[in-house]
Amino acid sequence: MAQPTAADRNRDRDRDRNHDRDRDRDRDRSLLDGPPDPVVIVDGAEADAGTDPDDGSNRLLFAANPLPMWIYDLETLAFLDINAAATALYGYARDEFLAMRISDIRPAEDVERLEAHLAAVGPGLDRAGEWRHRTKDGRIIDVEIAGHPIPFAGRRSSLVVARDVTERRQSEQRLRAAETTYRALVEQIPAAVYRHGLEIGSDLTYISPRIVDILGYSPAEVVARPGLFQDEVHPDDVPASQAANAQTEATGENFDTRYRVRHADGRWVWVRDQARLVRDPAGRAIEWLGLLTDIAEETRGAAALRASEARFRSLIANASDTITVLDPAGRVASISPAIERTLGHRPDDLVGRDPFDLIHPDDHPVANAALAALVADPTSTRTARYRFRHADGSWRWQEAIGTNCLGDAAVAGIVINSRDIDERVAAEADLRAAEERFRTLVEHLPAIVSLNAVDAT
């Protein structure tokens, strides 16, 4: 005669357990149909270990509770009872639930943790915390579990209340992701982001780590020193900073000012301080959000540029040559002070005028040809001689060199460098006249006149 196998014995044992469970369920089912007296549903209600779960009011608390609830056997982990909220959340029918164990609604990788938890649970309320559960359609949901041992159908059982916290967990994850992104952004931008109360100079509630690079202080040091920016502002910059503060407090406008503040090592650092008022959905002001930027390089660059421009202006102002810029329409956009020294015209009197108004009519063809060639070939330079009217009405010879800078955004014009050559032209004319007289004299001599080099030998 064949001996029963282990599988046969397990199958017989499961059949006996199912028979007992079905018998107990049939006995208890009528309790679920008891009179619907009004009850107060308490979130995570702690069942008294001495309370009879078969009492009609307790059964209604269980069956009608809006939170998913179930009772399971502490020895076999089999579901013994389930309420409607649980079937709605998990998607299993009641009969399906009653054929399952509580481990069946866990992901496989969480079963070991479940078993370890159950082995460690003591008597009384078990706030098991958050767990992952699997619904019938395979979705993984997050639930918050609380359980309490109770007697049920003569078995050691536990009543469990579950709260679906999936949306809350997802919201928290999105929030953490947003905070991570925001923090990374804030910490990587080349400026210190800060937050403080409504009053300018009030305690800082946050400042980003970039403050270390700007002022040499850690965020904790800055937050611990209220009024640091006001206390360490350069004395010469205090009036302007205070005026900006007053303007902002009076109007609520964005705060934007520049000042020097003392670095932790004692040197002065130029910063730009910008802040805007943050309001809640109702429009009420709640705090200031600001940005502190190190503008030392910008300030040094601006100072160097100003110095360079000053030198250039000085060079132009004191140069003997006149520098004129013609706009794309051919009118004077700017002209250097040398024009007054050489031709008697005030620079402002010539700005906006057509320079050909002051060029001798006989020299227009030459000047026009040179200008047209410049426009046609942006890479070229052209030289021309022409007579320009002096403020006293006389004509003075000028020699001009033009360069096409229309494509240079900083100039956007034709640059003409001209100088007075009136004396040189007169000297050239005198020389030509002398040569002409000498030639005439030679041509009328009665004898042949020749010039030969003297042979020193």
Is 319-426 the same fold as 62-165? yes
Class of the CATH domain delimited by 62-165: alpha beta
pTM: 0.43
pLDDT tens-place string over residues 160-187? 999 999 999 999 889 888 888 877 777 7
Q: Give tens-digit pLDDT for 42-65.
A: 333 334 444 455 566 677 888 889
pLDDT 10s digits, 255-310: 888 999 999 999 999 999 988 888 888 888 888 888 888 887 766 656 666 665 66
189-299 topology per CATH:
Beta-Lactamase (3.30.450)
Residue 258: closest CA among 268, 271, 267, 274: 271
Q: Where are the beta strands (DSSP E) in 301-394?
A: 322-326, 332-335, 381-389
Assigned CATH class of 319-426: alpha beta
What pLDDT score does 307 carry?
A: 64
For residues 69-98, give the mean pLDDT. Answer: 96
Q: Distances in Å between the alpha carbon of 23 and those of 16, 19, 20, 168, 384?
A: 11, 6, 5, 40, 120
Task: Identify which of 323, 296, 299 has the alpha carbon closest to the alpha carbon of residue 312.
Answer: 323
- Residue 417, class by beta-carbon neighbours within 10 Å (0-12 exposed, 13-18 middle, 19+ buried)? middle
Residue type at 98?
Answer: L
Per domain, the residue ranges of the chain are 62-165, 189-299, 319-426
Cα–Cα distance for residue pair 396/374, rounded to 1 Å: 23
Give the sign of the dihedral formed by CA 195, CA 198, CA 199, CA 200.
positive
> For residue 449, what are its two tokens?
């006149």
